[in-house]
Amino acid sequence: MTRVSFLATAAAVALSAGTAGAAERIKFEYWYGLTGDLGEVMAKHCQLFNESQDKYEAVCTGQGGYDKAEQNTIAAYRAKQHPTIVQIYDAGTVNFMLSGAIYPAKKFAEDYGLQVDWDGYFPGIKNYYATAGGEMWSFPYNSSTAVFYWNKDAWSKIGKSEAPKTWAEFGEDLKALKAAGVECGFAFDFDTWQNLEQFSATNNLPIASLDNGYGGLGAELVFNTTAFVDHMKDYKAWLDAGYAKIQTAQVGKNMVQAFADKSCASMITSIANHGTVKNTQAADLNWGVAMLPVIDAAARKNSLVGGASLWVMEGKSKEEYEAAAAFLKYVTASDTGEKFMVSNTGYIPVTTAGFEFLKAEGFYADPKYAGREIAIQSLTASEVGPLSRGIRLGNFTSIRAQLRSELEAAFTGQKEMQVAIDDAVKAGNDILRRYEQTYKGAALP
């Protein structure tokens, strides 16, 4: 892995040396976590920035994954070799806020004359990356949310032309689909992002006390006492009845592949997969996306943002920061930033201005992209409340991993669902208490 990233660095340096020409360009480092097709889009975005002006040069290095980007940045920071800007995923937000290693976005923008309309971000996106006081510490970049993907032909077999609005309706549909001969009505995996986090937000259920952790590091997990438990019991019942299937890479096909090749009729995943499904689908797959089903359709709350934001790190020179400011301006602008990202990937615009800009251009009328506005609808389905704002828990990736293991145990019949989720909460609370102790005396901004 080290060798790979070294080679990648070398390649990036060689590439940029080839295109730059002028030696007096001010260089700065940018590390990103996107991989595969998305990584190529990211690299292209860097290249476009470098070609758009001749004063600055972004040296962009892919780190081979979001988690690797965070790990490598931490290691690099400890060795004082960290980049100026780094792309960090949603779950790493708390670590970076408490790190003491970053230059808060709002302050950076003021110091380096970057014009940002902080209220222009969609509230669901803004709140996720802002402090409890509402001040943004990073720049939202590639953003997504979870949506319901459904096979319209499968649903027409049971005489329906609309996606289910509630979970109860969805349960009925699955039963009918099975009766109509659909082998797999619903593909799911153990990813907690859609199953716990988005479910809890859209139904206004708490994941942890103190407003999901925004109120301080003393928060305790509570999702073993909410409707989440019954929701997972429903999944288990669907699995046992043969209505739904578990699709992970270990099984051989992940959810997206199983949906795209028509073997499963629905799934819940990020809108970022919209492009992937479009590019890899079976030719005659007639599909669409819809907002997630909820428990009570009248009480729907907004879903949570996923994806990553850009963090400026401390300890760099004034020149590097000026270059970084120019880069941020370029990659977050409606035309050169948001439009580029949105049209080359399945991500969504992060500002109302960006959304309006794309709409005015007729972007969402294009059949290739039609349906993606559902994600914006879902993100803005309600006013952002204390429980649909986001999740601010220390070491949240570990908590996700704990829940994932326990769900695996429950879905394979080794444990009762309630016992498994209780165990995940207990283990998760131990993680939170260790985190609190590690940051003794520190307070969440």
Partner 1 sequence: MEKRATFSNLWLAAALVAPQLLLVFVFFYWPSGEALYWAVTLEPPFGGSNQWVGWMNFETVFADPKYWNSVRVSVIFALLTTALSLAIAVLLALFVDRRLAGHQIYKFTYFIPYALAAPAVGLAFRFIFAPDAGFVSAINRVFPNLWNPALDGTDALALIIMAQAWNMAGYNFVFFLAALQSIPRTLVEAGAMDGAGVLRRMRDIQLPLITPTLFFLVIINITDSFVNSFGIVDITTNGGPARATDLMVYKIYSDGFQGKDYSLAAAQSIVLMVLVVSLTFLQFRFIERRVHYS
List contacts with partner 1 (CB under 8 A). 67, 71, 74, 77-78, 95, 98-101, 246, 248, 250-253, 395, 397-398, 401, 404-406, 408-409, 411-412, 414, 427, 430-431, 434, 437-440
Q: What are phi and psi of 197, to 5 degrees?
A: -70, -50
First to last CA, the chain: 34
CB of 77 to partner 1, least distance (A): 6
Nearer to partner 1, 351 or 398 (CB): 398
What are the DSSP calls for 60-105, one per residue? EEE-SSHHHHHHHHHHHHHTT---SEEEEEGGGHHHHHHSS-EE-H
In sequence order, which residues have a C-beta less than 8 Å from that of residue 27 and are 6 or more positions away? Answer: 16, 56, 57, 58, 59, 320, 323
Query: Which tokens go with 368?
Result: 């290739």
Q: How far is the CB of 232 from partner 1 (least distance, A)?
A: 14
Shortest Cβ 428–partner 1 spacing (Å)? 11
Whose Cβ is closer to partner 1: residue 45's or residue 400's?
Answer: 400
Q: Look-up: residue for tokens 């976005």?
A: 105
Q: How far is the CB of 98 from partner 1 (least distance, A)?
A: 8
Nearer of residues 156 and 414 to partner 1, judged by Cβ: 414
**Nearer to partner 1 among residue 7 and residue 13 (C-beta):** 7
Cβ at position 409, least distance to partner 1 in Å: 4
Q: Which residue has the tokens 């859209």?
A: 202
Identify whether the C-beta of residue 114 lies closer than 8 Å to the C-beta of residue 327: no
Q: In terms of CB distance, is 318 or 440 closer to partner 1?
A: 440
Choice between 19 and 412, CB closer to partner 1: 412
Which amino acid is located at 312 in the chain? V
Say which DSSP state 159 is in: T
Q: How far is the CB of 397 from partner 1 (least distance, A)?
A: 6
Separation of alpha carbons 389 and 123, rounded Å: 9
Number of H helices, E strands in the chain: 20, 11
**Helix axis angle, 396-411 relative to 227-240, nearest 10°?**
40
Nearer to partner 1, 95 or 334 (CB): 95
- Nearest distance from residue 280's CB to partner 1, in Å? 15
Which one, 100 or 159, has the nearer CB to partner 1? 100
Q: Least distance (Å) from partner 1 to the CB of residue 145?
A: 24
Q: What angle do CA 251, 254, 258 make, to 5 degrees?
A: 105
Which of 366, 372, 326, 365 minimizes the C-alpha distance to 349? 372
State the DSSP H helix or E strand holding residue 318, giving kind and residue range, or none if neither.
helix 318-332
